[in-house]
Amino acid sequence: MAELHDAVEVITTKRDGGALSDSQIDWVVDAYTRGAVADEQMSALAMAILLNGMSRPEISRWTAAMIASGERMDFSALSRPTADKHSTGGVGDKITLPLAPLVAACGVAVPQLSGRGLGHTGGTLDKLEAVPGWQASLSNQAMLRQLEEIGAVICAAGAGLAPADKKLYALRDVTGTVEAIPLIASSIMSKKIAEGTGALVLDVKVGSGAFMKSLERARELAETMVALGTDAGVTTVALLTDMSTPLGLTAGNALEVRESVEVLAGGGPADVVELTVALAREMLTAAGVADVDPADRLADGSAMDVWRRMIAAQGGDPDAPLPVARETLVVPAPASGVLTRLDAMAVGVAAWRLGAGRARKEDPVQAGAGVELHAKPGDTVVEGQPLLTLHTDEPDRFDRAQAALDGGVEVAPAGTSYAPASIVIDRVSA
């Protein structure tokens, strides 16, 4: 078959501020996936998209072309509706762990395809792999069976879902084009739409520990993704949520699993519980199940029952002790007064340097590494009291982790009034 287009023509159209036609988009995504368009050509196109943007019809078509590069899953045979959640990533963001079993306990199946951490943001699969025996990879058949029998699955996306995205994501990472909103939105939504969920709730993080530092950029991303889901026939809503301070009191893999289990047991930090319940309510409403209050399912233990069955179904032992780092170091409060700032980015980079994260996608992570918080903004602290505990297997990592925290902690004089930011900042719907 004769080629319809050539890469230079597609690049120059976008370079000069033009809109790509449906046929240009279909061709270039397919040709790049097949290897007929070179990496350097796709890098040039990605940079042109970053600089000149894309219209809603262009982004919708680009997303559809990414979906068409692979398989689509189908959950229509399940006996209950499906809903999924995607977070744009943050520090201490363990919400998927209690959320999936909680929503399943309310009667909605959750096919949660998750990823690994990169840089300062944690990955759900890395966290769950801290549970002895737990396996991230499932066949499509095993996933369907687990959704029918248990109602929740958290696993790695198979290679067949949106292979164009896998290739393009790696390229964006090394060409300074990760921040292009059309490419972020189409990357996330191509996988989520191909996954076949009936409803989708997006948790778009805003603040120092998020990829979107400003409310304006976060809102643009949320609106773009909600439009993509809506155009594809998936009920989609987004919550803009605060990521200026880490979520909960832990950042790190086993540390966050432990905290998630506390939430499922009816305890845990108030901010983690608040966001878990808020997202659960959105997922249930989007899936058409509005008569169950997820807070009741945390209180009565049914969410914990689903968690235990979900972990065991994937080879994990829900009763096994979680890994603990060999070394700890306490970071004291620098002064007495009111803690007014504990910067999410600083804590995230510290956890990463302690071994909880990776710099390249093939790097290993330490299950026990991370940062434990003993106070949150708004709390009164006394100079010298433990503020943070750093965990790692390799004590030579402490110095660089402490360096990451420099400037990330602020304590105001006693009596200073402090109003904590609300976790949910805004809601975006179609």
Nearest of 409, 370, 404 to residue 390 by alpha carbon: 370
Residue 218 backbone phi and psi in degrees, to 5 = -65, -40
**Active centre residues (catalytic):** 86, 165, 172, 187, 191
Strand partners, 426: 240
361-380: buried (b, 16+ CB within 10 Å) or exposed (e) per residue? eeeebbbbbbbbbbbbbebb
